[in-house]
């Protein structure tokens, strides 16, 4: 079947796709926003709604030295305007910012579901099409130019034609083969804290049109969660996350430290993947439990006791009045007792001495050794929200081929792009919204130019 002709097709209705559809509509394009699942919003609809990113370019470079600096610079420049645009819509956005988000960022809590709904309402008000249960299967390419998509519908395959297509399908975090290919061994075991539709549709389609590869294919965003867990559904994603792990002593299943814990939960979460069995143990004292483990990580999450929640979820845990006793308890899990004891002793000595190294692993000057009884241990595993690699883009949202040349008619935004974050994390919702705006505005501009030919 042949569907309606439009100016711009947006594939995916998460924050990147919604922003792209909104931007294209506001630029005068007639838009078709197509969502594969039965509900709109992608992984953004599962989030707490914090719109955050780097406060300035220097902060971006310090936190994400491997990031694409051209994309990072434009993100920082466009971030305030994006917040102002959302606030002007009347959707709730906090008046005061939250600072030090993920150790360095600035952000505003918001009503994310209202933002997504507002974007869709604007598209339909402008005469566009908004459809769920419409998975896009392939791009239509003619004369090396993307001119539409084929999608499934309840009546069979349907073709939508347009001058430009924006890919915003949420990355490849739910595809085990792609995770193993790009992130490496054990990546196929990652718990997914995202919508089930993020299986790499955008990346695969872009590759068929000639897209090249991006940086950051081996890195991703997620958080440490208890091991094991009896269930892991969307309502568990936020409360199970152990955001305070940067204030713990973190060892692998052999009892060895392998990272500087103070890098933050979202980074040490990635570094756990290649460790033995992709499992680790957080060791911390009652001070950390009484403070950071119970604090609201950022507005919208609420104050909860994450250690107690982890225990109730089925996670393996131990509590003891002395570190020696805790070491014995943890060794019963299969962790080498002598190695763990030496690791804790070396770490404590380095931390109390103002930092340095312990067993060749950095100890930050801000590290704090466990010292206040009772002492606690929690076995954890890594999880994944979205991938950092994907379709390479220009600062206009154009999808690029292997030579860095724009592919006519193809654009990308949100988690489908690659390189903006790389090990370090530039944010999710705000960069998704900003890069979606780039793609949607550029796609509408391209559509106008094609119409004039």
pLDDT for the residue numbered 248: 98
144 contact partners, CB below 8 Å, separation of at least 6: 210, 408
pLDDT for the residue numbered 1: 64
Q: Are 301 and 257 in contact (CB under 8 A)?
A: no
Sequence-ordered strand ranges (E) for 197-239? 220-221, 225-226
CATH of the domain at 401: 3.50.50.60
Map tokens 């209202």 to a residue. Answer: 114
Residue 271: Cβ within 10 Å count: 17
Same domain? For 396 and 436 the reply is yes
pLDDT band at 300 (very low <50, low <70, confident <90, very high): low
Residue 298 sits in which domain range? 223-381
How far apart are the two ends of the chain, measured CA to CA in Å? 27
Same domain? For 144 and 236 the reply is no
Digit-coded pLDDT (tens) for 368-393: 999 999 999 999 999 999 999 999 99
Residue 266: Cβ within 10 Å count: 23
Same domain? For 18 and 162 the reply is yes
Q: Are 267 and 424 in contact (CB under 8 A)?
A: yes
- Boundary-marking domain end, from 381, 415, 434: 381
User: Where does residue 274 fall: left (phi above 0), alpha (psi -120 to 50 degrees), or beta otherwise?
Assistant: alpha
Same domain? For 36 and 171 the reply is yes
Distance CA 165, CA 105 (A): 32
- Boundary-marking domain end, from 381, 404, 433: 381
Distance CA 44, CA 47 (A): 5
Distance CA 451, CA 453 (A): 6
Distance CA 418, CA 437 (A): 16
Digit-coded pLDDT (tens) for 206-251: 999 999 999 999 999 999 999 999 999 999 999 999 999 999 999 9
- Boundary-marking domain end, from 318, 348, 381: 381
Task: Residue count of the chain, please give it.
Answer: 453
User: Where does residue 148 fall: left (phi above 0), alpha (psi -120 to 50 degrees), or beta otherwise?
Assistant: left
Number of domains in the chain: 2
pLDDT for the residue numbered 453: 72
Which tops the pLDDT comparison, 179 or 295? 179
User: What stretch of H or E contains 192?
Assistant: strand 191-192
pLDDT for the residue numbered 451: 85
Exposed, middle or buried, 437 (CB in 10 Å: 0-12/13-18/19+)? Answer: buried
What is the mean predicted confidence (pLDDT) over 412-422?
98
pLDDT for the residue numbered 452: 82
Q: Are 339 and 256 in contact (CB under 8 A)?
A: yes
Phi–psi pair at 381, nearest 5 degrees? -140, 160
What is the mean predicted confidence (pLDDT) over 143-168?
95
What is the mean predicted confidence (pLDDT) over 405-434?
98
* Percent share of the chain, pLDDT over 90: 95
Q: Are 212 and 389 in contact (CB under 8 A)?
A: no
What is the mean predicted confidence (pLDDT) over 29-54?
96
Same domain? For 307 and 196 the reply is no
* Percent share of the chain, pLDDT over 70: 99
User: What stretch of H or E contains 57?
Assistant: helix 57-63
345 contact partners, CB below 8 Å, separation of at least 6: none
The answer to whether residue 418 scores a pLDDT higher than 70 is yes
Same domain? For 233 and 333 the reply is yes
Q: Are 447 and 87 in contact (CB under 8 A)?
A: no
Same domain? For 358 and 415 the reply is no
Same domain? For 367 and 417 the reply is no
Residue 186 DSSP label: T
Same domain? For 377 and 390 the reply is no
Same domain? For 376 and 404 the reply is no
Distance CA 179, CA 450 (A): 37
Distance CA 229, CA 44 (A): 23
| Lookup: tokens for 251 | 């060892």
Cα distances (Å, whole numbers) of residue 331 to 144, 242, 312: 60, 22, 22
Digit-coded pLDDT (tens) for 427-446: 999 999 999 999 999 999 99
Same domain? For 362 and 413 the reply is no
Q: Give DSSP secondary structure letters for 342-373.
A: HHHHHHHHHHHTT-EEETTEEE-TT-----SS
Cα distances (Å, whole numbers) of residue 413 to 150, 207, 230, 387: 20, 15, 35, 13
pLDDT for the residue numbered 257: 98
Q: Are 10 and 34 in contact (CB under 8 A)?
A: yes
CATH of the domain at 298: 3.90.700.10
User: What stretch of H or E contains 22?
Assistant: helix 15-26
pLDDT for the residue numbered 303: 83
pLDDT for the residue numbered 422: 98
3-state secondary structure (DSSP) of residue 325: helix
Map tokens 């089930």 to a residue. Answer: 196
What is the mean predicted confidence (pLDDT) over 329-339?
97
Same domain? For 110 and 14 the reply is yes
Q: Are 41 and 113 in contact (CB under 8 A)?
A: yes
Digit-coded pLDDT (tens) for 174-198: 999 999 999 999 999 999 999 999 9
Distance CA 86, CA 232 (A): 32
């Amino acid at each position: 079947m042949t569907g309606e002709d439009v100016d711009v097709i947006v594939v995916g209705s998460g924050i990147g796709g919604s922003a792209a559809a909104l931007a294209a509509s506001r630029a005068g394009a007639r838009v078709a926003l197509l969502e594969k699942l039965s509900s709109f919003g992608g992984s953004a609809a599962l989030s707490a709604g914090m719109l955050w990113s780097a406060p300035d370019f220097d902060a971006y470079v310090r936190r994400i030295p491997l990031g694409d600096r051209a994309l990072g610079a434009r993100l920082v420049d466009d971030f305030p305007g994006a917040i102002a645009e959302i606030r002007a819509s009347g959707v709730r956005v906090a008046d005061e910012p939250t600072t030090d988000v993920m150790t360095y960022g600035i952000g505003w809590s918001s009503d994310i579901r209202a933002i997504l709904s507002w974007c869709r309402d604007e598209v339909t008000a402008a005469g566009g099409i908004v459809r769920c249960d419409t998975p896009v299967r392939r791009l239509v390419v003619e004369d090396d130019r993307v001119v539409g998509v084929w999608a499934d519908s309840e009546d069979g395959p349907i073709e939508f034609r347009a001058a430009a297509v924006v890919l915003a399908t949420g990355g490849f975090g739910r595809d085990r083969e792609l995770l193993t290919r790009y992130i490496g061994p054990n990546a196929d075991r990652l718990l997914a804290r995202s919508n089930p539709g993020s299986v790499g549709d955008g990346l695969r389609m872009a590759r068929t049109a000639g897209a090249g590869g991006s940086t950051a294919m081996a890195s991703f965003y997620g958080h440490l969660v208890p091991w094991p867990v009896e269930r892991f559904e969307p309502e568990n994603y936020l409360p199970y996350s152990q955001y305070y792990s940067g204030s713990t002593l973190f060892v692998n299943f052999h009892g060895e430290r392998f990272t500087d814990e103070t890098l933050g939960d979202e980074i040490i979460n990635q570094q756990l993947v290649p460790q033995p069995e992709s499992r680790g143990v957080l060791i911390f004292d009652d001070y950390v439990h009484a403070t950071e483990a119970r604090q609201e990580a950022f507005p919208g999450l609420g104050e909860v006791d994450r250690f107690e929640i982890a225990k109730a979820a089925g996670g393996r845990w131990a509590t003891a009045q002395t570190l020696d006793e805790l070491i014995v308890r943890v060794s019963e899990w299969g962790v080498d007792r002598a190695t763990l004891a030496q690791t804790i002793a070396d770490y404590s000595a380095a931390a109390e001495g103002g930092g340095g190294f312990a067993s060749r692993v950095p100890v930050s000057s801000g590290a704090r050794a466990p010292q206040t009884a009772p002492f606690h241990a929690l076995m954890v595993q890594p999880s994944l929200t979205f991938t950092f690699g994907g379709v390479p883009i220009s600062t206009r949202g154009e999808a690029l081929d292997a030579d860095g040349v724009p592919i006519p008619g193809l654009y990308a935004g949100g988690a489908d792009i690659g390189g903006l974050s790389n090990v370090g994390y530039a944010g999710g919702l705000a960069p998704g919204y900003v890069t979606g705006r780039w793609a949607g505005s550029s796609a509408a501009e391209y559509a106008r130019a094609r119409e004039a030919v």
